[in-house]
């Protein structure tokens, strides 16, 4: 297991990662990058990118490629092509996991997305299996105040995970587990590891903090009641989480998803984002022996 962070291909960010001691990354990919399938010479460029990370001892744990609403009827075919191209790219780069959202039928109860989920992701699961790649769904609700309300992501609660894995009987779909989204819904992250550990294929190391003074006065539907944060600055017990992940046999890395902390971000002050990454790295390093 290694500690890294989500990034686009950027040689300066790779140098920063090396200076701090990071050993992995979740690489953001998409149609805008010149090493993406369909671009001229993409295969050669993709191999060059993969080799550059390898030369710098940064393991690409996952390709972050399709955080969109796959059930948007106007975009469905476009997004199907996107998912397949991310899988093809992962195979070419030697990366075993790709990640994104599941999509959702907007404005309807979560359960009404089950049929469409099965239709779309059964097909993608088979394609991923044929290419030796696993699909990991991030479970951010993408709704108001970090809840499923008005969200765009069906795979956002443990109950929906149960249904999804029952409907699509393929081990090529699983979770991009992120405890911050569980904390925001008052769900115990440890229990989800124990119940779904064999389906956790990648991890977003991100945290959240419940400001109980605000919750008790105004409720959860109030700005600042719950806020995302870097690991070590929130409510997740990462000691036990990492121990449980090892117990269930998790084999991938911990990649920090930044940009969300209310204090440590470059919107408040230039350089704060990197401070947050360093704090999170030092905190998680207490519990991880990087291989």
**Per-residue pLDDT of the chain in tens (291 residues, 90 and over written 9):** 999 999 999 999 999 999 999 999 999 999 999 999 999 999 999 999 999 999 999 999 999 999 999 999 999 999 999 999 999 999 999 999 999 999 999 999 999 999 999 999 999 999 999 999 999 999 999 999 999 999 999 999 999 999 999 999 999 999 999 999 999 999 999 999 999 999 999 999 999 999 999 999 999 999 999 999 999 999 999 999 999 999 999 999 999 999 999 999 998 889 999 999 999 999 999 999 988
Of 90, 82, 64, 69, whose CA–CA distance to 7 is shortest? 64
Quick one: tokens of 49?
């990118």
Beta bridge partners of 26: 6, 62
- The model's pTM is 0.96
Of 132, 233, 142, whose CA–CA distance to 185 is shortest? 142
Beta bridge partners of 132: none
The CA distance from 86 to 66, in Å, is 8
The full set of domains in the chain, from first to last, is: 3-12+22-206+236-258 (3.20.20.150)
pLDDT digits (tens, 9 = 90+) for 44-93: 999 999 999 999 999 999 999 999 999 999 999 999 999 999 999 999 99
Count other C-beta atoms under 10 Å from residue 151's C-beta.
19
Number of H helices, E strands in the chain: 10, 10
CB 99 within 8 A of CB 176: yes
pLDDT digits (tens, 9 = 90+) for 163-173: 999 999 999 99
Quick one: tokens of 77?
């075919």
């Amino acid at each position: 297991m290694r500690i890294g962070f989500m990034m686009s291909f950027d040689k300066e960010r790779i140098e920063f990662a090396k200076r701090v001691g990071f050993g992995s990354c979740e690489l953001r990919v998409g149609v805008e990058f010149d090493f993406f399938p369909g671009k001229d010479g993409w295969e050669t460029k993709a191999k060059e990118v993969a080799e550059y990370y390898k030369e710098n001892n940064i393991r690409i744990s996952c390709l972050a490629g399709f955080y969109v609403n796959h059930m948007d009827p106007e975009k469905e075919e476009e997004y199907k092509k996107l998912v397949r191209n991310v899988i093809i790219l992962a195979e070419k780069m030697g990366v075993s996991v790709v990640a994104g959202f599941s999509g959702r039928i907007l404005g309807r109860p979560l359960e009404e997305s089950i049929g469409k989920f099965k239709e779309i992701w059964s097909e993608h699961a088979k394609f991923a299996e044929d290419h030796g790649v696993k699909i990991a769904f991030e479970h951010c609700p993408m709704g108001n105040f970090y809840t499923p309300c008005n969200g765009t992501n069906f795979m956002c609660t443990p109950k929906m995970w149960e249904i999804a894995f029952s409907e699509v009987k393929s081990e090529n779909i699983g979770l991009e587990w992120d405890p911050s989204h569980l904390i925001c819904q008052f769900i115990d992250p440890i229990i989800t590891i124990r119940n779904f550990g064999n389906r956790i294929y990648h991890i977003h190391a991100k945290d959240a903090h419940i400001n109980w003074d605000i919750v008790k006065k105004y409720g959860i539907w109030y700005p600042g009641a719950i806020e995302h944060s870097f690991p070590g600055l929130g409510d997740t017990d990462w000691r036990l989480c990492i121990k449980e992940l090892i117990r269930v046999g998790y084999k991938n890395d911990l990649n920090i998803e930044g940009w969300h902390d209310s204090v440590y971000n470059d919107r408040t002050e230039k350089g704060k984002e990197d401070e947050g990454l360093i704090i999170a790295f030092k905190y998680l390093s207490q519990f991880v022996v990087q291989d």
